[in-house]
Structure 1
Amino acid sequence: MIDANANTFPDLVELDALRLTVIVDNEVDFMTSVPKALGLTTQAQRLFTDKRNLDKEKSKGLTAEQAGSEARDTDSKDGAIRTIAFDFGDVCCGAHGLSILVTGIKGDIEHRMLFDTGPQPANFLENAKRLEIEFEKIEVIVLSHWHVDHSGGMMAAVDKIREARHGLSPVVVDLHPDRPDQRGVCLTKPGDGPPELAEYVAWGKDPSFEGLEKAGAKVAKNVLAHTICEGFFGVSGVIPRRTSYETGIPNHARWSDDNKTWSLEPEIMDERYVVARVKSKGIVVLTGCSHAGVTNVCQDAKMAFQQPQLHQYPDRQENNNELFFVVGGFHLAGGSVETRIKETVRDMQEINPLFMAPGHCSGWRAKAALEQAMPGRVISLGVGSDFFIAPEDSSSA
């Protein structure tokens, strides 16, 4: 079926590999097992094998080559011992927000973009330091939507990238032009008449266009679907609302500086998702919070690659148009949206993504329900996770 409202990405490049490095997420989980197809290396695993962490006092009988290798020698009476000094202070910390570094690889070409920046600078910068993020290679920052738990670290990210790039082209910050003065939630319960006191919680202001430009970024305002980084990644426009049950966030509100008043804004229409397409794997979708509904997000992304009548995709493989991995916030935590879990699970079974990593605002109830209905497909997102998605004959970079 052709849908004229669907987002399309006619010039999206098919990648040889895709790497997702989670800089900010609510959860810290480096223990839960993950299918090999997702090529996961946790930050803790890297700390286990990093030769810099060799404990010399507890290691013996090692040659220089053995000490520097990633092989682990078992203890024996006369054998060599290699002991890693693991410091929990080196592990990334969780925070209520999301930030994922996305690296696309095709041949000998790489492009990197940053999807959201978490709620505040300190957490973003510290985790980025612990993950040894190469800021000089980040070309674009994409903000999924105007909420501070996704934009709070943006000014710090722009500053860090500007310093690291040493006069190279400025980082592009890809934004929806409808920036609110401020957003928050209404705490007042609805009643028969107007409340005596309407209570709101304000979340603070997002970075301004002017502030980002002053910090050295090139601001790109986009309403429609488009690609970035030479077609490596697609950024959606408005996410069509098709389901009957995904009706936004009922108590979400928007502040107006001009009118000095709050107004309810259940539909966050500025939210966008990001897609990439990997050879022999399929479509990877990154969603910030899925305020439009994760079903709507996935339906739209899937439809974008099943409408050849609208656009020509000359390199498309017919078996490479399904959803391989859906990553990010599913926004199914909280009393007003947990009622949608049953319908969401039903429809996600129909959409049939191979794997899902519901993080940030997804909530444990939704994760448990999805795992029960689709066993083995639900992955912990987990701050510090590094997913390397590539054909089976490719090796991790």
Structure 2
Amino acid sequence: MTSETWNPLSTAPPFPAVRYASIADRIAKVLGTRNDVLLIQAEAVVALEAVATSLARPGLKVLNIVTSPYGLWFGNWLRRGGADVIELAAEPARPIDVEAVERALNAHPDMKVLALCHAESASCILNPMEDILALARARGIVTIVDAVASVGGHDLNVDELGVDIAIIGPQKSLAGPAGLSALSVSSAAWQLISREGGPTGSILSLLDQKIWLDAGRGTLPGTTAPLEFFALEAALDRLEAEGLASVIARHGRAARATHAGLIALGAEPWVKPEKGSHLVTAVELSEAADPKALLAAAAPLGMEFSIGVGPGANRLIRLNHTGLRARFDIVLGNVTAYGIGLRRLGFKADIAAAVEAIALHYGD
């Protein structure tokens, strides 16, 4: 093959099968778990659907906590398999209340599974995962946590918290590829998954994925995606070089600085810092402002804004400080660009005060 025809995107070498187990072990360390870790060759929504599909059976009672459209999808996948789903929805685009969860569990003492999302990128909120998991653990309930938008940005120790299934994607705080995902599975979760009637012969079957574990973690099921695995390995290299604690702290600082900058600007962040995501910060526009017009006004400045997703989030503007963006220049650019966009629409924005507030968070 000549140098003129060789291209790393189309002629990449196969990813060595002996390194799949190493990747799984490195992800287990990120999650703080000794549970089994499966590698899913698809974006994390496929892993979420596989979990629901593999668990769902007639007679299985699940408390499904809904704080975004993804939670609704999860409930639908469970019902498709015959599960008895009790849906507990938060106020639109708001975190769930622990008291509401406790009431639901008390009303249904035969609950077997609880599912929730840790952080929501759709509305930039953070659910009180630790308190909810404590309620479930005290009742012997198997727990499922969608940690796609929290792993690497928030503390997440699977074994200490008692998470039975944690689903992650490396494309957010870990700054990795979007085409792969992973999940950890406890022995209690495997017992539910392994009951008679579970799906097999399907990409959505965790029992089929488990063949990789049972066979000694050699070749993965299906045709592997070398570029995605090389990218994931590079992301884990970068994470380990910086240190997981430092990556989490960097995201926390970016969130706090963004929140302070927005307040100084004269804007109102959607939730208080303790109830907000460390990856994306939401700010609510006044009724007099058009979200699309704001995006258009700020677009020439080259910063990443987007409108919130789902009920209650249509007037939220999301400022992205995820992964490699969780740093001073991006936070500063996000908030100042938002302020300039407001000014271009005729609204007041104290950009100088915002700059000073952000600088204080990075002054050391």
Check whether TM > 0.5: no
Q: Normalising by the residue count of structure 1, what TM-score does the alignment of the two structures yield?
A: 0.27
Q: Normalising by the residue count of structure 2, what TM-score does the alignment of the two structures yield?
A: 0.29
Q: Which has the higher helix share?
A: 2
Q: Return the structure number with greater relative CO, CA threshold 8 A, min gap 6.
A: 1
